[in-house]
Amino acid sequence: MRLRHKPWAKEEMENHPHIVMAAPEKSKGKWNSVFGNDNPIYVEVGTGKGQFLTGMGQAHPHINFIGIEKYDSVLITAMERVKEAELPNVKFLNEDVEELLAFFAEGEIARLFINFTDPWPKNRHEKRRLTYKTFLNKYEKILNKGGEIHFKTDNQGLFEYSLHSFSKYGMILNNVSLDLHKSGIEGNIMTEYEQKFHEKNMRIYRCEAEYRE
Ligand code: SAM
């Protein structure tokens, strides 16, 4: 993703602490109180400009969504989208996914989305892929029983790698699709990357992965 320096982004986010949560570690284990309801919490890692979570928040008002994105110059667009749409059920963390365990308690999350994550194609960068085993281990800790990962990508190599990584970790794979937009799936909300690739007629890969109890 091309990053444009936006020196005002940080301050603008600080002015909207109900959308971009400062000091999220203070909310660890208390996210349902933060949202003020008992609805399930779904997290998206590497959320980008927030098209997916804004769409999901509108489509599913009885689910709470939290998007994690490390670059403020990108996240500011997500914040503006949620502000415009007035969505009380969507919040963001301007943080690194590496630190996930500092923000969520064991079993606090019901579902985790990984959408069009950076493929890091070089072998020496394997550990940076958000479907690498150390990340799967962090996700497992914060997901509740029966919690799932929903994964979408345009990158065949990353998809093959991730299927292997999920299965090597002992996860159960469901609804594997090698061409999502031709699979007749209902209720799919496109991310900004997905929309771009779909408009170029590129295929989208998708699967759901479930931890064994
Ligand atoms: N999910 C969006 C979509 O599908 O349109 C954005 C995809 S973009 C290729 C990947 C995003 O993940 C980038 O905005 C990047 O900054 C973010 N990202 C990658 N690794 C991350 C990490 N460890 N922590 C937080 N964000 C990360």
Q: Tell me the CATH number at 190.
A: 3.40.50.150
Q: Is residue 4 in a domain?
A: no
In a domain, 206, yes or no: yes
In a domain, 140, yes or no: yes
Q: Taking Cα atoms as reference points, which of 111, 66, 88 lies closest to residue 18? A: 88
**What percentage of the chain reaches a pLDDT higher than 90?**
92
Beta bridge partners, 173, equal 209
pLDDT tens readout for residues 19-30: 999 999 999 999
Average pLDDT in the 191-208 region? 97
Tell me the whole-structure pTM to 2 decimals.
0.96
- Listing DSSP states for the chain in one string gives ------TTHHHHHHT-TTTB-SSGGGGTT-HHHHHTS---EEEEES-TTSHHHHHHHHH-TTSEEEEE-S-HHHHHHHHHHHHHHT-TTEEEE-S-GGGHHHH--TT-EEEEEEES-----SGGGGGGSTTSHHHHHHHHHHEEEEEEEEEEES-HHHHHHHHHHHHHTTPEEEEEESSGGGTT-SS----HHHHHHHHTT---EEEEEE---
pLDDT band at 129 (very low <50, low <70, confident <90, very high): very high
Q: Tell me whether 0.90 is exceeded by the ipTM.
A: yes
**Least confident interval from 5-14, 189-198, 203-212:** 5-14
Question: Does 70 sit in the ligand 1 pocket, CB within 6 Å?
Answer: yes
In the predicted model, is pLDDT for residue 84 greater than 70?
Answer: yes
Strand partners, 209: 149, 173
- pLDDT for 196: 97
Q: Are 108 and 31 in contact (CB under 8 A)?
A: yes
Residues with catalytic function? 118
Please check whether residue 115 lies inside any domain of the structure: yes
Would residue 198 count as lying in a domain? yes
3 pLDDT more than 70: no
**Residue 38 annotated as binding site:** no
The whole-angstrom separation of Cα 16 and Cα 163 is: 38
**What mean pLDDT comes out for the span 27-45?**
98
pLDDT confidence band for 81 (50 / 70 / 90): very high
In contact, 63 and 42? CB cutoff 8 Å:
yes
What was the pLDDT predicted at 184? Answer: 86
pLDDT value at 7 more than 80? no
- Cβ atoms 108, 139 nearer than 8 A: no
Residue 101 domain-assigned (yes or no): yes
Expressed as residue numbers, the domain containing 173 is 9-21+29-210
Question: What residue's CA is closest to ligand 1, atom 14?
Answer: 48
Q: Would you say the CB of residue 68 lies under 6 angstroms from ligand 1?
A: yes
What's the 56 CA to ligand 1 centre distance in angstroms? 17
Instruction: Note the pLDDT tens digit of each residue in 87-123.
Output: 999 999 999 999 999 999 999 999 999 999 999 999 9
Average pLDDT over residues 162-172: 97
Q: How far is the CA of 102 from the centre of ligand 1 (A)?
A: 19
Q: Ligand 1 in contact with 193 (CB < 6 A)? A: yes
**45 occurs within a structural domain:** yes
* Average pLDDT rounded to a whole number, residues 183-196: 94
pLDDT at position 130 over 80: yes
**Averaged confidence pLDDT in the chain:** 96
Number of domains in the chain: 1
The pLDDT confidence band at residue 9, using thresholds 50, 70 and 90, is: confident
CA of 14 to the centre of ligand 1 (A): 21
